[in-house]
């Protein structure tokens, strides 16, 4: 009987060892599956966060002019009380330099001085798409904002709210040409003023 129990005991132990080995493999497989599953979940969550972040920070392709609109009614230029007197030296120098009449010079000086009010509202939307800007001179002065090519070209007439130029209209033009260096249209004029 002892001779019979020994082989049975060996078979039982061998069977238990096999069961433990198979169980061990199963446990490792479960752990591996759990680990892969956890990594996939973490990756999915990261992708979702990146996707949500991308949607939140979606690049602007066109200026929403309703966000720029001041709500101010346009003033009548004919009887507007400008901060620069029409016969002041600044107005006369501007008129001479840019070959415009005094009334145009007076108007252009005022809107170019106040232009940051409008510029800041547009820049709030452009972020890194902005490359440079300039205020042009001459008969039809306007604020030209240069952007990267991804932004749609557009234009808008902004009405100032600040007391300095309240009610005056500044035409704004978005030009997606990528010009990076700011064109200082007034630079030569200001240098000439300093030398007078």
**pLDDT 10s per residue in the chain (196 long)?**
545 545 454 554 455 544 444 444 455 545 444 544 555 555 555 555 554 444 444 566 899 999 999 999 999 998 999 999 999 999 999 999 999 999 999 999 999 999 999 999 999 999 899 999 999 988 889 999 999 999 999 999 999 999 999 999 999 999 999 998 644 544 444 444 444 4
Strand order through the sheet with 169-175: 130-135, 143-147, 169-175, 154-159
Write out the two tokens for 96. 């001479």
Cβ-count burial of 161 within 10 angstroms (0-12 exposed, 13-18 middle, 19+ buried)?
middle
Write out the two tokens for 188. 């030569």
- Sign for the CA dihedral angle at 76, 81, 85, 87 comes to positive
pLDDT at 138: 85
| Nearest C-alpha neighbor of 150 from the set 169, 168, 131, 163 | 131
Query: What pTM does this model have?
Result: 0.64
């Amino acid at each position: 009987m002892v001779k019979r129990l020994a082989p049975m005991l060996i078979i039982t132990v061998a069977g238990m060892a096999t069961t433990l080995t198979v169980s061990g493999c199963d446990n490792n497989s479960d752990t591996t599956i759990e680990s892969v599953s956890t990594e996939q979940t973490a990756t999915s969550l990261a992708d979702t966060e990146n996707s949500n972040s991308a949607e939140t920070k979606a690049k602007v392709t066109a200026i929403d002019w309703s966000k720029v609109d001041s709500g101010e009614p346009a003033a009548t230029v004919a009887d507007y009380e400008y901060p620069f007197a029409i016969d002041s030296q600044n107005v006369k120098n501007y008129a001479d330099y840019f070959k415009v009449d005094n009334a145009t010079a007076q108007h252009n000086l005022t809107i170019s001085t106040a232009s940051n009010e409008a510029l800041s509202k547009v820049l709030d939307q452009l972020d890194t798409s902005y490359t440079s800007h300039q205020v042009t001179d001459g008969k039809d002065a306007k604020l030209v904002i240069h952007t990267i090519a991804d932004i749609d070209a557009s234009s808008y007439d902004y009405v100032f709210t600040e007391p300095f130029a309240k009610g005056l209209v500044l035409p704004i033009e978005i030009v997606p040409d990528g010009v990076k260096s700011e064109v200082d249209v007034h630079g030569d004029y200001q240098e000439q003023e300093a030398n007078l």
